[in-house]
Chains A and B, each alone.
Chain A
């Protein structure tokens, strides 16, 4: 069965801390994505990756970076956490080059609070 695993369901951090959110998929997917979800705004794409060591900016990359050293793992990094980064973070993965009808598969999400 398809599985995308995010390391934490809930996380509380302090302003200025460096925060790591981890995501692992077991489906051998090429593509991986990080979104944040806020009420009334839907899901917004932060960063994505089409291959190992590749990364592309999404719509709201400011204040974030990513790392993809292995195909199955995609990490989101908050360089210096701020209160406006309190949000639900969702990781997703999908097949690459397999046609446009391939859905993205999501993890359960990490609810991050920055105090």
Chain B
């Protein structure tokens, strides 16, 4: 079974609209962390936002927020007021288990295109 599932291979969104990128995960661990990365066409992976499994509030970083629904095992990325520069691949990733396991498992990504 996939540990991280991103069901949207591609999305087209009008500039200035809000965007929700879906991510569901599968783990039996109580302690885990969820990360979102952005990869522009230039190739570098840019860390956007982190949510810990014990965090009670949804994480926010500027225009990025994470809609964390633990019971549904969902960690969707929300981008408010989209901009042309948001066009990129977006990856959801999970770190499982306790302190000491630093490996990440990545989803297959969503290609977001912002339309002017």
Q: Which residue of A lies closest to B98 (CB)?
A: A100
For A35, list chain B residues within 8 Å (CB): 106
A15-B32 Cα distance, complex, nearest whole Å: 41
B109 to chain A, nearest CB (A): 6
Report which residue of B42, B45, B52, B93 has the largest number of chain A beta carbons within 10 angstroms of its beta carbon: B45
> Does A74 count as interface, using CB distance less than 8 angstroms?
no
B78 to chain A, nearest CB (A): 19
> Does A84 count as interface, using CB distance less than 8 angstroms?
no
B2 to chain A, nearest CB (A): 10
A50-B102 Cα distance, complex, nearest whole Å: 9
A114-B103 Cα distance, complex, nearest whole Å: 28
Please tell me if the beta carbons of B44 and A42 are within 8 angstroms of each other in the complex: no
A57 to chain B, nearest CB (A): 11
A103 is contacted by which of B9, B43, B50 (Cβ under 8 Å)? B50
B: interface residue count bin? 20 to 34
A109 is contacted by which of B9, B35, B43, B52 (Cβ under 8 Å)? B43
Q: Which residue of B lies closest to A38 (CB)?
A: B108
Q: A42-B91, A42-B106, A43-B106 known; A99 and B99 CB under 8 Å? A: yes
Please tell me if the beta carbons of B44 and A109 are within 8 angstroms of each other in the complex: yes
A: interface residue count bin? 20 to 34
Please tell me if the beta carbons of B100 and A97 are within 8 angstroms of each other in the complex: yes
For A41, list chain B residues within 8 Å (CB): 108
Question: Knowing that A41-B108, A42-B107, A43-B106 are A-B contacts, what are 16 other residue pairs whose CB atoms are under 8 Å apart, sorted by A's residue number?
Answer: A31-B102, A42-B106, A43-B91, A45-B104, A96-B102, A100-B33, A102-B102, A104-B35, A104-B104, A105-B47, A106-B45, A107-B44, A108-B42, A108-B44, A109-B44, A111-B43
Which residues on B are within 8 Å of A, measured CB to CB? 4, 9, 31-33, 35, 37, 42-47, 50, 52, 91, 93, 95, 99-100, 102-109
What are 10 A-to-B residue pairs whose CB atoms are below 8 Å?
A42-B91, A42-B108, A48-B103, A88-B43, A100-B31, A101-B50, A103-B47, A104-B104, A106-B37, A108-B43
Which residues on A are within 8 Å of B, measured CB to CB? 9, 31, 33, 35, 40-45, 48, 50, 58, 88, 90, 92, 94, 96-97, 99-109, 111
